[in-house]
Chains A and B, each alone.
Chain A
């Protein structure tokens, strides 16, 4: 295969990965890793490098709109980024000593968890029951809804911070945004309304991914020949996805895709178990 054919096929594949990531809410990087490793048989280290770039591109691209609308809680994001960036640096360090097959199996596990997370019921109500620490850190805020500004308060700051550190480690180790874990920390633990937790998580993914991306770039995980089709394809797919989401209700699609992704995840685990990475 020539470089031209390879690039075009990968560009189309990355476009659908971005579309799928956007429609399911899993993020741009998550689908890139199985696409590169299972379909193109690319070494998982190159795949991780490319996936990190896809995560940064889609999260920064999408954050624009939410930040502008005032849904994103910037103070909360900044505070939790202490946890995710430290975690990401630790993850990138552990990655050197982790066999690629283990990384592949871990990735499969996280993928199943993420798919399950997108299907579960979310916190919609704003909570009025906040903790002292949240007040001290000025984390309580408000966000716009159909019925005007709604105030919300945050609790379990310490527990949320700990889960965020784990999310950071996983993000650094696997090269993904680990949005599902971030939403779990904010949504289930800190009781933040769903719209705020997803947009704030998305806002944080770029910074978290950048913290480990600088390490991976220097380690030679980022190949320009892969980065070029992956970045452009994923961005295009994510853009189409965001346009489609305003026009239709993706619930049924989301269920179908999450089942499909579970099979992909099982294949990653199976291949990892058989030392195929």
Chain B
């Protein structure tokens, strides 16, 4: 553990490589979740007629809020499971910023700690700022 927290360890391992790996695993994991949910969705509802996508009605709270998605996942609902994969996918680049922040903290690069925090704040604002109108 002590080794992981030391700066030399990270310089050796090269944080950039880790950022690359995090992005790859984020995409792989989220697509596996989407695939699993999708397979069950097709199995359960594949024979039903396609919903009318030509008119926009918007998705219900089950697919648009953390609570809705998580409670659906807890009840093993197929579509909520897909939506959970969607959440993981959206989280992948956001997590990447957090990783970069960590890297700049280790490098003690104050300017870029500030810049990275600013980007993170913009994203958090768009998440929780009630912009959905």
Contacts and interface: CB of A to CB of B under 8 A. Distances in A.
B2 to A, nearest CB: 27
Given A57-B89, A214-B90, A228-B38, A207 B97 contact: yes
Nearest to B122: A85
Which residue, of A92, A137, A222, has the highest number of chain B Cβ atoms within 10 A? A222
A263 interface: no
B49 A231 contact: no
Contacts of A59: 93
Nearest to B72: A224
Given A92-B131, A228-B82, A68 B17 contact: yes
A112 interface: no
B108 interface: no
A214 B21 CA distance: 23
Chain A interface, >50% SS class: helix
B111 interface: yes
Interface of A: 1-4, 6-7, 40-43, 45-46, 53, 56-57, 59-61, 63-65, 67-68, 70, 72, 74-75, 78-79, 81-82, 85-86, 88-89, 92-93, 96, 137-138, 206-207, 209-215, 217-229, 231-232, 235
Given A211-B123, A222-B63, A232-B35, 18 more contacts: A1-B49, A2-B48, A3-B49, A42-B53, A46-B56, A67-B19, A67-B20, A78-B100, A213-B90, A214-B90, A218-B64, A218-B65, A220-B64, A222-B59, A222-B86, A224-B82, A224-B83, A228-B38
16 contacts: A57-B31, A60-B92, A61-B23, A61-B24, A67-B16, A67-B19, A81-B97, A138-B109, A210-B93, A213-B90, A214-B90, A219-B58, A220-B59, A225-B50, A225-B79, A228-B37
